[in-house]
Every structure is written in structure tokens, then in C-alpha cells.
Structure 1
Amino acid sequence: MEDVSLIILFLSVLGGYLLGIISGLLPGVHNNNFALALIALAPFLAEKGLSPFYIAVIILSNALSQTFHDVIPSVFLGAPDGDTALMVLPGHRLLLDGAGAEAVRLSALGSAGSVVASLIFVLPFSLFFKAIYPYIEAHMALILILIVFLMLASEKGESVEDSKEKSPFAKYKYKFFALVLFLITGLLGLFAFDRESLMVPVVNFGEPSILLPLLSGLFGSSQLIISLLTSSKIPEESVSALKLSRKRILRGILTGSAAGSLVAWLPGLSSAIAALLTGLAAKVDFDRITLKKKTSEPELGKLKTSLYSDPYASNPSTLESSKEFIVSNSGVNTSNAIFGLVAFVVIGRTRSGAMVAIEDILETNTLDLPILLLFFAAMVLTALFSYFSTIWIGNNAHLFLKKVNYSKLCAGVLIGLAVMVYLFTGLFGFFIFVISTPIGMLSSFMNVRKSHAMGVILLPVILYFL
């Protein structure tokens, strides 16, 4: 093990934490973007004396910090990434009630609690999954197909009783739409992965990844355009007092941590899918579209967009379930980031862009125990910073948004994202980015969950294991 400078380690944690704030707050920007840039800069940084270990710390801290801060644009701007898309629904309800800061605080609590729970689960889960992983791998296709079936079967879209359609088949329409979205994105993934060699980056930053244009289009630029086409009114005040029982908070943390740790061992599964499963367990109805008359819903042309729907207005008794889901969903994202490192060490598999970058930089999938403990210490420190900054930003976000032209912010990020994709992946990557963007918008027009767009990875992975 190389000598580790605590000062450089602290600065690396701080750098990753600050990058996580940026990738968490700016719609369409993801920690994978920074990870890709750090891979490209690794040789230059190594010449300056920054070893691959510290670069890996920056990437880990960035990934964890983002899981705390990405709730803020989801709640206040209705601009989620792929991992927080489901959180917009309950978060928007609290925002309209003037409690957006409470939603952010619940999320921060869920993420912080998940760090503690994940560290407790690390040893038993590692031993368990190391023992059964050969059996999981042997039946991987069947497991993934079952998860996809649960995703599609649970899709209800617009509530049937609120719909004008009286046909007995109306309730199956949204399941069909979800299947269509899954298949379209799956075919897009097959097309893109088979032609990954066509990418010729304008700026040579190492081996380009087809995931950058795919995920940037499906979950980044598509949501930025939706946000530009809609408008939302932020309440003048935003309270942060917690009004959820300790029992529900603890249950949300535990279920989220367990679900997030589970998907970290399986290929092609995102935190959004784990969040969906925890939501079903908590009996959260994501899809019912019934707004209070006193609120105004942004419109996408003449179509409602599920991103701004309030599934709880007609049933106030479910408000606590929505708050618990926010805690759980945040726990999923944070636990998934932590167990991505654990899975990398235990089974030698990468399940996230951050871990792919770390494997590339370290050029190994074997970590010594002292290095692993330092990684965990860096993540705990990042979580501590992130918890307080998330709450502070959540308490003041509505004041900041009064001074910022959100449309110009979205447009700027959209242009920057397109330029980055072109520079890192070339003309073919930019082509994939362009065709991925309208496909990513389909979920809003179909009124189905955006998580079905994970077919872009799931379908190719399923076919690989068949």
C-alpha cells in the first residue's frame, strides 16, 4: 500500500463532494460525466503527483454526494435524473403545500441513515452474496426478466377511474405503453452497443463509452426539454419541520438500504428500479393523476406530464406514505452507491459508471483492506458534509430560484451536455444522443414511469445472459 497523505485525502474528498453538488444540482449533469473526464485527466494528474488512489476517492465522493443533492432539482424544479424520477411525484406534493424544504430534509435523512445502515449490512451482505452469486449468475436472465415483468405489471399510468375511457381494457393501456417504451429503448441499446466502435471522439480522452450519449439523451436532455416546455410556480415560503414518525423514517431507511444494496449486485438495474420496488412495498401509488383545484399543473402542449402529477391530492391519508417513500428512495440511491464498491470488491463486477471509472483508473478489481477502509472513511466524511449542505440548500432553494431564470439555466445545461457528448464520443455518439432525447421524452407523453427506459441496458443484458 502506498503512503497516504491525510491532507491530500481530505482535499480529494472535498473535491469529489463539491463535484457532487454540481452534478446533483444541475439538471442533465451526472457524476458519470465527471468520472469520464477524470479518467481522461488521470495521466496528467499522475504527472502532477496525484496518484490513481486519490482520483478514485474523488469519483467515489462525487457519486455519493450526488445521491444527497440530486433531490433538490427533483423537488423544486421537477427536473429529476434517472435515479430520482419517481421522487418528483411525492416531492411535488410537498412543494405545492409549501413544504419543499421538508421533502429535501427527509431525503437527506434517508441518505444519511442509509450510510449507517449500509455499513452495518456490509459484512453479512458480502458473505451472503459471495456465497449465492454463482447461483444468481446462472439464473441471471430469469431474475432480470422477472424484475422487468414486475415493472411492467405495476404500471398503471393515469388512474382508470379518472380516465374518460370506460373500456375494460383501459387499465392495460399503460402497461402496453410501458412495454413499448421498454422495447424501443432496448432496441436502441442493442443498436448502439453493436456499433460502439463507430465512436471517434473529437477530444481523445481515452476509450469513449456509448453509455454517455445514451443515458445523457434518455435521462438528461429529454428531461431538460420537458422542463423547458413546462413551467412551475415556486411557493413564497418553504417549511422544513419534519412531520413523520420515527417508525416510518426508520422503516424507509431500512427498506431503501436493503433495496439499494440488492440492485448493486445485479447488472442493468438502476436505483430507480430498486426505488420502484420499495414504493410498491410501501403501497405508494405513483401514477394517480388528480390535482387539487387550488394548484395549477404545468402543461406540455395539451398533454399532462406525469412528472408534475400529484398522486395524493384525492387521498390525504397517503401523505405519510409519500414522505416515507422519499426517505426510502434516497436510501436506495445512497446504498446503491456504497454497495457498488462492495460488489466490485467481493465479486469483481462493476455495476455503475463510477465503479467502471475506478476500475479503469486503478487497473485492478482487487483492493487491499487498508485501501477499502480508507474508501469507506472517505464516503462517511462525504456523507457528513453532504447531509448538512443538502438541508441548507433545501432551506434556501426557493429564495435562490426567485433570482434565477430557470429556462436559461436549463438551456445552458442542455447546450453544454450536447457539446460534451460531441467532444467525448464524436459524431456517432452525438447521433445516438440526438435520437435518445425524443425517446426519453416518450414517458411523459405516455404518462408512464421513466424507469422503463432502462430497457436500454436491461434488454441487451437479458439477451446476453440467455
Structure 2
Amino acid sequence: MEDISLFLLFLSVVGGYLLGIISGLLPGIHNNNFALALVALAPFLAEKGLTPFYIAVIILSNALSQTFHDIIPSIFLGAPDGDTALTVLPGHRLLIEGAGAEAVRLSALGSAGSVVASLIFVLPFSLFFKAVYPYIEAHMAAILILIVFLMLATEKGEDPKEKKGSLAKYKYKAFALVLFLITGVLGLFAFARESLMAPIINFGEPSILLPLLSGLFGASQLIISLLTSSKIPEESVSALRLSRKRILRGILTGSAAGSLVAWLPGLSSAIAALITGLFAKVDFDRIPLKKKVPEPKLGRLKSSLYSDPYANNPETLESSKEFIISNSGVNTSNAIFGLVAFVVIGRTRSGAMVAIEDILGTNILDFPSILLFFAAMVLTALLSYFSTIWIGDNAHLILKKVDYSKLCAGVLIGLAIMVYLFTGLFGFFIFVISTPIGMLASFMNVRKSHAMGVILLPVILYFL
């Protein structure tokens, strides 16, 4: 191990942390973009005294910091990335409830708690996954099919207590299957033609997930908000209004699911978020309103966001808050266990770890270096926790002064421009197609999480 300067180590952590704020707050910018740039600059930086070890610390800190801060555009702007897509609807509705700051605080708590949980369980999880990894990898398709089956089987549509015909209970499961298949076919089409993307502004390898998820989960929700004349309340709750039991359960389930996907090929944090959603007692992506608002005029079928059976249901609201905690825990745990998986089985599962392998190789990670990496991540988490909460508390003060309809329209236009600049004409085409498909869940009165078929179906077919 080379001689380490604590001053340079601290500067590397702060540098990665600041880059994580940028990649977390700006939709379309990802830590992978910075990782690729740092790999390209590694020889130049080495000449200036910044050895590969410090560059690896910057990349790790950047990846971890992003998992804290990327919740903010998802909640306040409805602009998701691949890791926060499923939090758009819960976070957006909590924002309209006047609890946007609380949602950010819960997310920060989930990420911070996941760091602690991951460090506690890193040794037993490493031993466990190293032993069972070959068996899980061999049966990955069956595992994913089981997850999809559970998603469809637990779909209840509207109020399950409402008396319907003998076959009515299968109607919403059929709707959910249709949504899963439509988005799955969309994903197959888009991934097969990803090479057609020709970005106007190139920040590294463009991802087809940007137009897909921005349309399915971001733009679709913004349009619904425009149609329903939503607005941000004057006051925003920042205090935590969730039981310790739910907070702890959200942290533990998120940490476990995030550690799982870090070991397995082809899986993302979004799929791990689906797994945690299955633990919720109430559908996590239907958020009730405390106060009644006019029903959206979206045709014959009501929007599931405003269905009466879920209105004023504190259990549903608490489950949604718990999901935000667990989803944030998933992303942070995945970032941490990405390093662990690289050390234990020598496999890279993220762009950050690919960059670190490119810089350090596979045989340079000795025990003292690993301890310093973990120390860097703990410091990054501490800094990120407080900055995430501060930004979340102050974002509402700014946004409440803005006409919410104009804000939604502006963000919608901004998303379209961003997709066009970063993915080109083909990416914009995918974005335009994805947006109305993302609105189908509201018309069908089913969970929007079934739209994750856009990722799940291609991955399942890959492993078959």
C-alpha cells in the first residue's frame, strides 16, 4: 500500500461528495459520467500528485453522495433517474401534501441508516453471497419471474372490500399484466436500438434509460398534475412523522435488497426497489390526499391517485414514507456492496466499480486500502446527510413562491430538451412514446410499479 496523505484523502472525499451533489441534483448527469472522465484524466492527475488511489476515492464518494441527493429532483421536479424512478409518485404526492421536506429527510435517513446497516452486515453478507452466488446466478430468470408473479398477484386495483362480480378481482391483475407487457415490449424495442442514440451534448456513453424512465415515471406524472390543477401548499412539514418500527424496517429491507442486486449481473437498484415494495402492507405507489380535491377529468376511468377507497388512509401514507426510506437504502447499500462484491468475487456491477477496476486493477485492493475506502464512504455519508436535508428544507421555500402549474410545464419542457440534448432524436422519440404509456397506470387504477416491465422483461429474456 502506498503512503497515504490524510489531507489528500480528505480533499478526495470532499471532491467526490461535491460531484455527487451535481450528479444527484441535475437529471441526466450520472456519477458514471464523472467516473469515465476521471479515468481519462488519471495519467494527468497522477503527474500532479493525485495517485490512482485518491482518484478511486473520488469515484466512490461521488457514487455514494449521488444516492443521497438524487431524491431531490425526483420529489420536487418529478425528474427520475434509473435508481429513483419508483419514488417519483410517492414523493410527488407527499410534496402536494405539504410533506416534501419530510420526504427528503426520510430519504436521507434511509441512506444514512443503510450505511450503518451495510457496515454491520458486510462480513456475514459477504460470506453468504459468496457461497450462494453460483446458485442464484444459475436461477436468475426463475427468481425474476417469481418477483413479477408476486407483483401481479398482489395487485388489488380499487378497494378490495368493494363487492364486485366473481371475475372482477382478476380485472386489475389483467390490467397490470397488460401494462407490464406493454412497457416490456417498449423496453425490448428501445434496448435493441440503443445504438441509434446520437446525443447533441455528449457526457459519456448515453443511456436509453434516461428517455424511458423520464417518460414513464416523470413526464407522465407531471402531465397528470397539470390536468388535476395541483399546487404546492404554503407550509411544508419537515419533522419525521413515522414510527421507529417502520423506519427501521425500511432501512433493513432496503439495505438487504440493495446488497442483493450488487452481487447479481443485469439487475439494477430499481428492481431491488420493487422487491422492497412487496414488503409494504399497502400499495406504496398510491398516495392519498388529506384534503379532497376535484376529480381529474381523464375520461371514464378515474386516476388511481384520487380513488376514494385510498383517501385519508394513514396506513397507505405511512407505507409510502417507508418505501421512500427503503428505496434510498437500496441505492446507498448497492453503492457500498458494489465495492464489496468487487473485492470478494472480483466482479463489477456498476460504472463506478468498472472505472475503479480500470484505475487500480484487481490485485491492489489490500485490507488497509479497503478500510480507508470504507472510512471515506462514512465521511461522505455524513456530509451528504446534512446537505440533503438542508437542500430539501430550502427547496420548498423557493418552489412555494412559484405557480405550480407553470413549474410542472417548465419541468416537462426541460425534461424534453434534456432528453433531446443527451440522447438525440431517437431518445426523444422514446420519451414521447413512454409518456402516455406511463399514464396508463392511472387510467387502469393499478400500481405504476408494473411499468418496471420496461427493465424486467428484457432482463428476464436475457437470462432465459
Q: Shared topology, TM-score over 0.5? A: yes
Which of 401, 415, 418 in structure 1 is aligned with 2:417? 415
- Segment drifting more, 140-149 vs 175-184: 175-184
| Shift in CA distance, 283/342, structure 1 to aligned 2, threshold 3 Å | same
Deviation at 1:353, TM superposition (A): 4.4
Q: Could you tell me whether the CA contact under 8 Å between 1:181 and 1:442 is conserved in 2?
A: yes
Which of 328, 336, 347 in structure 2 is aligned with 1:338? 336
| Shift in CA distance, 96/381, structure 1 to aligned 2, threshold 3 Å | same
Give 2:32's aligned residue.
35
SS in 2 for 1:235: coil
Deviation at 1:145, TM superposition (A): 1.3
Which of 356, 359, 362 in structure 2 is aligned with 1:362? 359
Give 1:153's aligned residue.
153
Is 1:10–2:10 an aligned residue pair? yes
Deviation at 1:35, TM superposition (A): 1.5
Q: Could you tell me whether the CA contact under 8 Å between 1:265 and 1:340 is conserved in 2?
A: yes
Q: Could you tell me whether the CA contact under 8 Å between 2:285 and 2:449 is conserved in 1?
A: no
AA aligned opposite 1:406: L
How far apart in 2 are the matches of 1:268 and 1:73? 26
Q: Could you tell me whether the CA contact under 8 Å between 2:271 and 2:456 is conserved in 1?
A: no
| 1:38-437 to 2 correspondences below 5 Å | 38-40=35-37, 42-44=39-41, 46-48=43-45, 49=48, 53-87=53-87, 91=91, 94-95=94-95, 98-160=98-160, 166-198=164-196, 210-211=208-209, 214-215=212-213, 217-219=215-217, 231-286=229-284, 291-292=289-290, 294-296=291-293, 299=296, 301-302=298-299, 305-306=303-304, 313-316=311-314, 319-359=317-357, 361-362=358-359, 364=361, 368-369=365-366, 370-404=368-402, 406-407=407-408, 408-422=410-424, 428=426, 431-437=429-435
Q: Could you tell me whether the CA contact under 8 Å between 2:158 and 2:307 is conserved in 1?
A: no
Deviations, residues 345-374 of structure 1 (Å, cap 9, x unaligned): 323334344444545x43745551344333
| Shift in CA distance, 126/454, structure 1 to aligned 2, threshold 3 Å | same
| Shift in CA distance, 249/397, structure 1 to aligned 2, threshold 3 Å | same
- Segment drifting more, 246-255 vs 283-292: 283-292
Deviations, residues 201-221 of structure 1 (Å, cap 9, x unaligned): 667766655555555554555
AA aligned opposite 2:419: L
AA aligned opposite 2:124: P
- Segment drifting more, 437-446 vs 339-348: 437-446
Q: Could you tell me whether the CA contact under 8 Å between 1:59 and 1:354 is conserved in 2?
A: yes
How far apart in 2 are the matches of 1:95 and 1:428? 32
CA RMSD, 1 decimal: 3.7
Name structure 2 gaps, 5 residues minimum: none
How far apart in 1 are the matches of 2:60 and 2:280? 30
Deviations, residues 324-365 of structure 1 (Å, cap 9, x unaligned): 443333222221222222223323334344444545x43745
| Shift in CA distance, 312/177, structure 1 to aligned 2, threshold 3 Å | closer
AA aligned opposite 2:167: F
SS in 2 for 1:351: coil
How far apart in 2 are the matches of 1:352 and 1:231? 40
Q: Could you tell me whether the CA contact under 8 Å between 1:79 and 1:224 is conserved in 2?
A: no
How far apart in 2 are the matches of 1:462 and 1:23? 29
Deviation at 1:60, TM superposition (A): 2.9
Deviation at 1:115, TM superposition (A): 0.5
AA aligned opposite 2:187: G
How far apart in 1 are the matches of 2:373 and 2:112? 17
| Structure-1-length-normalised TM-score | 0.81
How far apart in 1 are the matches of 2:430 and 2:91? 32
AA aligned opposite 1:421: T
How many residue pairs get aligned? The number is: 455
Name structure 1 gaps, 5 residues minimum: none
Q: Could you tell me whether the CA contact under 8 Å between 2:234 and 2:400 is conserved in 1?
A: no
| Shift in CA distance, 93/271, structure 1 to aligned 2, threshold 3 Å | same
Identity of counterpart residues, as a percentage? 80
Q: Could you tell me whether the CA contact under 8 Å between 1:90 and 1:311 is conserved in 2?
A: no
How far apart in 1 are the matches of 2:58 and 2:339? 14
Q: Could you tell me whether the CA contact under 8 Å between 1:289 and 1:311 is conserved in 2?
A: no
How far apart in 2 are the matches of 1:172 and 1:104? 36
